[in-house]
Amino acid sequence: MPKSAAKKATRTKTMPYDVAAQLRTPDEMAAYLDAWLADAPDDAAGIARALGDIARAKGMTQVARDAGMSRESLYKALGADGNPSFATILKVARALGVKLHATAA
């Protein structure tokens, strides 16, 4: 096949996926957290990261202020290596406007 007839290889352009960009409404945020709680109830780090995703969607500075924390402390607590206390989880959930639910197992 002559070189002129060969198709040029097209490159697929990718970008990092950020779930926070998809969490636009309080209902979407609550559904996202609820999915984590239902699908991975033993994954404390994953649930904390989910709260972090929601906090980023709402704005970390405002969430930190509403939770009575510094922005840096909030990032650290909800980051990949964070290990927030249950009190912190409750403060952040309240600041996010979401509620944790319990059902019989």
pLDDT tens-digit map of 41-91: 999 999 999 999 999 999 999 999 999 999 999 999 998 888 999 999 999
* Buried residues in 24-50 as b, exposed as e (16+ CB within 10 A): eeeeebbebbeebbeeeeeeeeebbbb
Residue 100: its pLDDT value, please?
87
- The predicted pLDDT at position 52 comes to 95
CA-closest candidate to residue 49, choices 29, 28, 78, 74: 78
- pLDDT, residue 101, reads 82
Confidence of residue 4 (pLDDT cuts 50, 70, 90): low
- What is the per-residue pLDDT for 25? 94
**Predicted pLDDT at 9:** 74
